[in-house]
Amino acid sequence: MPPGMIRKTAFATLLFAAACGGSQTKTTGGGTGGDGTGGAGGEIVGTVVQPDPALLARQAFENPGGMWMPRQMKDHAAQLTALGIQIEPTALADTKAAPLAAIVNVSGCSASFVSPDGLVVTNHHCVQRDLQLNSTPENNLVEHGFLAKTRADELPSGPTQKVMVAQKITDITADIMGGVDAIADGKARHDEIDRREKALLAACEQDRPEVKCRVSKVFGGAEWQLTEYLEIRDVRLVYVPARSIGNYGGEIDNWEWPRHTGDFSFLRAYVGKDGKPADYSPDNVPFKPAAFLKVQPAGVQPHDLVFVTGYPGRTNRLQLAAELRRSVEWSNPRFIEKSEQMMALLADMETRGGETAIKAGVARQRTQNFLEKTQGIQAGLADGTLIADKDAAEKAFRAWAAADASRAGYVAALDAVEAKLNEMWSIEAKEEAWKDVVGGSRLLQAAMSTLRWSMEQQKPDAERRLGYQERDRRNFEAQHQAFAKQFDATIDRATLRMMMLRAMALPEADRPWLGKMLGAKKGAKVDTKLIDKTLDAWYAQTKVVDLDARMALMKGTPKAAAKSKDPFVKLALALLPTVLDNEARADRWSGELATLYPAYLTGLLQSTGGMTAPDANSTLRISYGTVRGYAPSAGAEVYAPFTNVTQIPAKNTGEAPFDAPKALLDAIASRNWGPYASADAGGVVPVNFLSDLDITNGNSGSAILNGKGELIGLAFDGNKEGLASDVVFRGERNRTIACDIRYALWVMDAVDGADHLLTEMGITPAL
């Protein structure tokens, strides 16, 4: 079945229902929700529900997946119309109007404006660093949450938190790739692409300090995009429920269904009095967005049409079979092993108390999320079915190419990509432990990055490496301003020690660099005692932890840095030549692949025919689907698509992560649901719901919209059965788990007293 196609039987039934005039009527309340087979009956007119002619089409819809670029949505107009969209489908291609103009990126998560005064809603887990930045052992906001009763009480989220508003997306493929295939040398080709990219960025941002531009590859470099963002730098915490609401179920429930997690929070974007982005100041005023989402307290019902829009991070559905096999056999097992060690280390750090415990808890939640996702992907690939499917697809591609002599270049490109990847993997495997150690300390990375700045700023700006140009200075300095509050020497030392011990376990011939790094004399044994003694000295003597010391390194010269006695500066200086050599090698590889990968993917797209969504790359995307449950395995009972608040007390143990606060339990016991109840959630307030929408990391906090483009939920997780979706999306098992907006509104109204925020969003407090 071609991507996005609805079964013909559905259209036949749909036409029959329309021809008959829809003689049946329903009372309000929709379906039962018990097995996900109920549904939205249609539009309410008086006390009667008018038939929804698109319901049967939605029930029959088989979601093929796809994180679509906005410009691709016009090609889905017929499909969306058949599914019952209630806005003009082309509106989903316009980044300058609602709803897309309301969708923003907040430091790697997705979010959306929900008021004319810059109020932003995203996930609870997306603001943990904002909370940690404002926490003390005496006032742990990570644990207890936060509510600003007035705008004057809203807390700065820190210099690194940004609200990025996409304003324009331009195709720059010809500007980047035109004629580069004539450059034979891989490094020279990379450097020319790099020069063009920097020139485009400079032109995009010229005389516009409020704008940040980004270049992105699509379809492996067959297409290039330039996105212009308004960068809002003053972001403040407004409201975050307690951890025992926002992270209810914790790591036990992560990637599981049923869920009862209130994963929502609110920020606010501020600008200068002139309406332009500015650094934090108490004189700044709320940002006035071009559009904001209408919050719809009526929510959704089973089989309703829904959309998710945000900034998905990375998928690998177009990768080669060899790349998939490499992940299963090498990358994933190593990532899992190291992450499990890190989880144990951070769990120990959480017992230390004070700031260390707070920071370790934030880091552990993030580590655990990526660990469990990778474990789920690995489990989904374990039976070899997906790899076999990938092998079969590649074989079919080769057969397609062989059928026409004009397609021979596609296979040649594929063979060349595979050969280059094998070369890269062979070298990277030998360097894994070295890279783990070098990347194992934030303090070491801070020293290296500031020293790199001192080197790069000796060059003309256009010749500097991306990330070290004047356009990057403000954000770089902001990261270092936040460093002191986020950094913990106890955690950092333990992490670096863990990576060194892992390297020490290798045969000595495979890690000759470790002894040199530790200053061991020739022939001396590298053991735990030497590692501990050296680390104790390094952390006791270094000044790099101080902001002033790092800024002095950054603004100084390499010659001045060479005189430093600081152990981390000396180590960074010793490592940088190898880092730069590896960087040059990676540039050469990148240049060699720059024309090969696009050539192969161009052929692949031709061979498959129809519309294809590119892999996610942290740019604005849209996915559509329906609200529905699923069967966790063949023959199993179908999960209902909604959970509700009355299920929380039965699940509650009083101990984390099932330790709902008393105010929430009291509100549930009162059974005062106000206008937030749903027949599909048993006549009470729904908490979470399922849909077959297509998401990945980076979609956290993404707005889930109904067919009118109204906000009805926030994406925050997926189901374990669908974790391999980063490689292959399968609509029958892939589910997105969302926080129902009705639960967020009810908690704000009945539990935390956030009436002023409800009013700001156009919701009348009722409890």
Q: How, if at all, do strands 211-218 and 285-286 pair?
A: unpaired
> 131, 115 in Cβ contact below 8 A?
no
Mean pLDDT of 580-586: 97
Asked whether the bond before 558 is cis by omega within 30 degrees of 0, the reply is no
Catalytic residue among 110, 157, 623, 700: 700
pLDDT at 2: 31
Mean pLDDT of 623-635: 95
pLDDT at 322: 95
The pLDDT tens digits for 375-421 are 988 988 887 888 898 999 999 999 999 999 999 999 999 999 999 99
pLDDT at 343: 96
Gap between the Cα atoms of 120 and 114, Å rounded: 6
> 703, 308 in Cβ contact below 8 A?
yes
- Residue 200 clears pLDDT 60, i.e. is over it: yes
Per-residue confidence band for 305, with pLDDT thresholds at 50, 70 and 90: very high
Active site residue 581: no
Handedness of CA 291, 292, 294, 300 (dihedral sign): positive
Mean pLDDT value across the chain: 92
pLDDT at 50: 64
- Residue 1 clears pLDDT 60, i.e. is over it: no
Per residue, the 3-state secondary structure of 71-131, as one string, reads HHHHHHHHHHHHHCCCCCHHHHHCCCCCCHHHEEEECCEEEEECCCCCEEEECHHHHHHHH
> Which range, of 421-435, 501-515, 543-557, 597-611, averages the lowest pLDDT?
597-611
Mean pLDDT of 335-343: 97
- Residue 757 clears pLDDT 70, i.e. is over it: yes
8-state DSSP, 558: H
| 3-state DSSP assignment of residue 121 | strand
Residue 697 identity (one-letter amino acid): N
The β-bridge partners of 109 are: 106
Mean pLDDT of 5-20: 30
- Residue 326 clears pLDDT 60, i.e. is over it: yes
pLDDT at 376: 87
Gap between the Cα atoms of 5 and 481, Å rounded: 51
Catalytic residue among 234, 263, 587, 752: 263
Instruction: Name which of 566, 495, 555, 564 is nearest 531 in CA terms.
Output: 495
Query: Which residues neighbour 556 within 8 Å (Cβ) at sequence distance 6 or greater?
Result: 454
Per residue, the 3-state secondary structure of 526-584, as one string, reads CCHHHHHHHHHHHHHHCCCCCHHHHHHHHHCCHHHHCCCCCHHHHHHHHHHHHHHHHHH
Q: How, if at all, do strands 223-232 and 211-218 pair?
A: antiparallel
Query: Which residues neighbour 327 within 8 Å (Cβ) at sequence distance 6 or greater?
Result: 316, 377, 381, 727
Residue 698 tokens read as 């980076």
**Neighbour tally for 300: CB within 10 Å:** 31
Gap between the Cα atoms of 305 and 6, Å rounded: 14
pLDDT at 32: 30
- Residue 431 clears pLDDT 60, i.e. is over it: yes
Give the residue extent of every domain in the chain: 8-62+73-86, 89-316+635-760, 393-606
| C-alpha pair distances (Å), 213 with each of 196, 224, 310, 582 | 14, 13, 17, 27
Range 685-707 burial, b when 16+ CB lie within 10 A, else e: bbbbbbbbbbbbbbbbbbbbbbb
Which tops the pLDDT comparison, 39 or 609?
609
Active site residue 281: no
> 360, 350 in Cβ contact below 8 A?
yes
8-state DSSP, 655: B
- Residue 37 clears pLDDT 60, i.e. is over it: no
The pLDDT tens digits for 723-756 are 889 998 989 999 999 999 999 999 999 999 999 9
Instruction: Name which of 11, 3, 138 is nearest 605 in CA terms.
Output: 3
> 168, 200 in Cβ contact below 8 A?
no
Question: Residue length, the chain?
Answer: 767
| 3-state DSSP assignment of residue 266 | strand
Q: How, if at all, do strands 703-705 and 686-691 pair?
A: unpaired
Asked whether the bond before 99 is cis by omega within 30 degrees of 0, the reply is yes
Mean pLDDT of 298-315: 97
Per-residue confidence band for 27, with pLDDT thresholds at 50, 70 and 90: very low
pLDDT at 164: 98
| 3-state DSSP assignment of residue 419 | helix
Residue 216 tokens read as 């992105």
- Residue 468 clears pLDDT 70, i.e. is over it: yes
- Percentages of the chain per state (helix, strand, coil), in multiples of 5: 50, 15, 35
| 3-state DSSP assignment of residue 139 | strand
Gap between the Cα atoms of 72 and 621, Å rounded: 10
> 119, 113 in Cβ contact below 8 A?
yes
Mean pLDDT of 615-637: 96
Residue 446 tokens read as 């801070």
Active site residue 125: yes
Mean pLDDT of 97-104: 97
Residue 620 tokens read as 């604005």
Query: Which residues neighbour 697 within 8 Å (Cβ) at sequence distance 6 or greater?
Result: 312, 313, 314, 370, 373
Catalytic residue among 124, 125, 190, 260: 125
